[in-house]
């Protein structure tokens, strides 16, 4: 059991987070709670905002993925379409041509846990057949709801991300998170997605354009535990960190690690990052602090 302290209305409250098993496809599972978990970003794209084109070739993506595992990644998140604002859309066929050979190669060469970063039901199905274990959907199952049935049929892990894109957003950030996730969870329940396969991602940077919006969400992050699911976060190299630090995207890893620690102390379980090594070290210190708190 991990104990997370947070300040609420001028007083310190303690949130108890027990270890829980995250069920994944192909009869795999991961324990979330007492140890921070790292999801390495592997963009098989020419135009992602900080590493576009670096891993576009299958061999480069596989080599980079293996290096991430050596540096401490628990999950490899393979994506074939950039989600940055203004990115050119790609077809399902283009996306699949990019990601499936990488997933197939990694499945042959390693026993690593693999996530497919997609909102498309057919891409998710093919990726799971190729060996992926987790669906990471930046539209929270709401763009192609059929993806929920795919997840259920494979008993795949599902990461539902909150987004404000293409919809009206409530003024209160936690109220908007709750409204959005209620809709996502209803889609999942209708498709008989097992609750033990679900994690939620508040979607830092996705239609959260200002520093203030992102920092308000971070400051109130502990309130998201009321949703009842483990929490995954992806602040890595986001624009709001560039505004705060004055640094370009590839130079924001230390700022990212700072947010990882802050969010870990509020109970985040999984961290989706570009730089595994820097975040691993920072989170090792955070985990040691949390372990010390349980002894006090």
Catalytic residues, which ones?
A: 238, 272
Are 3 and 293 a contacting pair, CB within 8 Å? yes
The SS3 of residue 114 is: strand
Instruction: Using the structure block, give the residue that is written with the tokens 């699949």.
Output: 96
Q: How far apart are CA 162 and CA 270, in angstroms?
A: 15
The SS3 of residue 222 is: helix
Q: How far apart are CA 248 and CA 259, in angstroms?
A: 17
Residues 6+ apart with CB under 8 A from 240: 204, 205, 208, 210, 211, 214, 215
Per-residue burial over 236-275, b = 16 or more CB atoms within 10 Å of its CB, e = otherwise? bbbbbbbebeeeebeebbebbbbbbbbbbbbbbbbbbbbb
- E strand or H helix at 30: strand 28-32
Structure tokens at 104: 């197939």
């Amino acid at each position: 059991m991990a104990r997370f302290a947070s300040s609420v209305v001028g007083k310190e409250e303690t949130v108890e987070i027990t270890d829980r098993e995250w069920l994944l496809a192909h009869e795999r599972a991961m324990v979330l709670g007492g140890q921070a978990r790292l999801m390495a970003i592997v963009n098989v794209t020419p135009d992602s905002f900080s590493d576009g084109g670096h891993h576009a070739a299958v061999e480069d993506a596989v080599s980079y993925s293996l290096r991430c595992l050596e540096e401490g990644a628990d999950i490899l998140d393979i994506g074939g379409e950039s989600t940055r604002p203004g990115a050119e859309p790609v077809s399902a066929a283009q996306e699949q041509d990019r990601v499936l050979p990488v997933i197939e190669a990694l499945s042959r060469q390693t026993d690593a846990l693999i996530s497919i970063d997609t909102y498309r039901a057919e891409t998710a199905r093919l990726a799971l057949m190729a060996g992926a274990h987790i669906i990471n959907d930046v539209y929270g199952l709401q763009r192609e709801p059929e993806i929920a049935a795919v997840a259920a049929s494979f008993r795949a892990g599902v990461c539902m991300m909150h987004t404000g894109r293409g919809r009206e957003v409530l003024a209160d950030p936690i109220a908007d998170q709750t409204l959005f996730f209620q809709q996502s969870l209803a889609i999942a329940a209708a498709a008989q997605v097992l609750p033990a396969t679900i994690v939620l991602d508040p979607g830092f940077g996705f239609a959260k354009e200002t520093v203030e919006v992102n920092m308000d969400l971070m400051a109130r992050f502990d309130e998201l535990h009321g949703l009842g699911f483990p929490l995954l976060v992806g602040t890595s190299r986001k624009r709001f960190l560039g505004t705060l630090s004055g640094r370009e995207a590839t130079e924001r890893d230390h700022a990212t690690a700072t947010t990882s620690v802050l969010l870990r102390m509020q109970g985040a379980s999984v961290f989706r990052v570009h730089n595994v090594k820097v975040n691993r070290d920072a989170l090792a210190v955070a985990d040691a602090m949390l372990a010390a708190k349980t002894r006090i």
